[in-house]
Structure 1
Amino acid sequence: MSPSSPFTAGPTRPGFVLEIVARVARVEPAALARAVGPTDAATVIDTLVARGIIDRVAARALTMVAAGELDERDLRQLIDPAAVRARLARGVPVAATVPLPLPLNAKLGRYTVRGVLGHGRGGPVYRSVHPLLGVPVAIKVAATAGPLRAEAAALVAAAHRNVVRLCDLDEAGGQALLVTDLGGESLARTLRRKHALAPRRVFRLARGVLAALCATHRAGFVHGDVKPGNVLAARSGPIQLCDFGSARRTAGPAPTVVEGTWPYAAPECFDAPGSPKSDIYSLAHTLYHALTGRPLVAGRDAAECRAGHLALDLDPLHWTVPGVGRAASDLIRRMAARDPDARPSAREALAAARTAFGPDDATGD
């Protein structure tokens, strides 16, 4: 969740990225800019995804095109011009559904906006500094307080060094604010720069997230959206699991929509409420992505992603990724089992990880 540019090379101004999408989708750049709204180089691609203009697979390819690592013609295979034009033609002001980001140094109650980290379901997520503690924080904004209060309750219940810490629950300018500490950059942003990570680094991430899931499940919650964007890592300090906006009590009412982010959601989440074992599946897919540089499942909608999950036949990682041993490969493959009953619990997976993934590094979790 760093505010730095996600591109590794080439021009990084927002207009350059929008010009690429406009050419591929054959739309007017001005119309695209109006739909996206104010943004900056670090968040323009996240904003395109949040507005529903491109999906996450196209976002990854767009990052590579902007960095000069992929031909623009390849991006044409992932962006449907008709779908983009239909999205732009709806004529609903963006602010009516997703509030536009505030400019730098704008005030949110007692907090000063230092950047836009991304976009949640209710609106932008801002970077700031806690005025009393002096530590970096993330501020999630919503039109109503109810969802953020539920998220705050989950964070308090799951309190653990590997779970982001709740710092504040406030209101400002008619909006509800949820403030959490900001422990580092998201894995999603890291993967945009580095494509894939060394196994030792991924195993450290896995241990941290498994510890967070142990605490979450022990508290009676399902996280519901484990993915690269919700895993934070700093150069020092613990790995942290963030964004409990999809969290719900294990015995709570069934959600009315598919839980999680489709490329990482467990197959059962497309038809019924997920369980703690669904979080384990999502973590396994996150680890595959981090180790191989690409998500295992891609699709334009829930139906395509569901079919992709059900059709998966995973190659063992120790066959394809140097540095991944047989024990680690087998554990991650069991975590990604199609049948929830075949997956280990978070506690079982964490216990197995201590052997399968080898000793932790000096920064340990």
Structure 2
Amino acid sequence: MKELEFRDPKRAQKFSEIIQNSAPEENITIMHVCGTHESSICEYGIRSILPDNIDLVEGPGCPVCVTPTLHVDEALELSERKDVILATFGDMVKVPGSSEKLTGGRKNVQIVYSAADAVEMAKNESKEVVFFGIGFETTAATYAPVLLEEPKNFSFLGSVKRIPPAMNFLLNSEEVKIDAFLAPGHVSTIIGAKPYRPLSEKFEVPIVVAGFEPLDILSSVAKLLKMIGSDACTENDYERAVKEKGNEKALELMDQVFEVTDATWRGIGKIPDSGLEIKEDELNARKKYDLEAEEKRGGVPSGCICDEIILGKSKPEMCKLFREGKCNPQNPVGPCMVGSEGMCNVWYEYGGRPEIE
């Protein structure tokens, strides 16, 4: 059987040599903001072949992980209403709010696979169905056509985020050192490579849009290392899926449904222009039910360092709960173990930087 094009060991060896030869002497931090990238990096042991001074970290690329306690508390408030059925993804019922989770036998909480499933549920219910929807631009593109149909007996409680403003925030932050970015492949299929170019120019930081196969990631890391200290620009290394202007039809639909707002990210705080809020008041559960939840401290159990992991400041192995096995996918303590794209969940399955003899 012919070797898969993007998993050819000989080509991987060549990229490894390029990376070793082009790596600068100083310590370099490359951040990605995509849980699928983290899965590929760990599954194929990519960190194990990087020079010791190259740190490849995951930033706020897991939508479940960055959903703030405020939005979980709003969902909890709705779940206590007798005239509402709260529908959401399975991961979200395990994410802590300021004091509790949506689990616990709540009769008014139903798990669905999509917003479209929640709309179908609403057609057969006397109570109104509120869909608690999270995600980045990729997921927003799936919400838009459903919401444009203005479904009846239905409203939307959103926690939808935009990735480029978060990257801008991190580059402005003094807390996090970032020398280069692997831009998220899935998000970029929607927004394109264009939104990253102003960031490269403003901060003189190289950004490469990367795919998810092992050779995709090795190729993109090699390009980033060559650009560090010289040509800080944005390159699209995933041209088979990502266009310069993205999916223009999807962006048009999203623009009809959502408006850009400031948004709160768990572990980070409020980031300007980083959220997407539904425009139609009748479909906006926050306005329709005049939700009163306020941002509170909490939602991160004692010993959990998920907030630091989201910022790329720590890794799962630095968490006592992770090391001792008290936090695991069957019994997640913090949101980074809940979401399948969370770094803790991925490291539990694959390990972070295995030693290969």
TM-score range normalised by the length of the shorter chain: under 0.3
TM, length-normalised to structure 2: 0.25
Bigger Cα Rg? 2
TM, length-normalised to structure 1: 0.25
Which structure's residues are more often strand, by fraction? 2
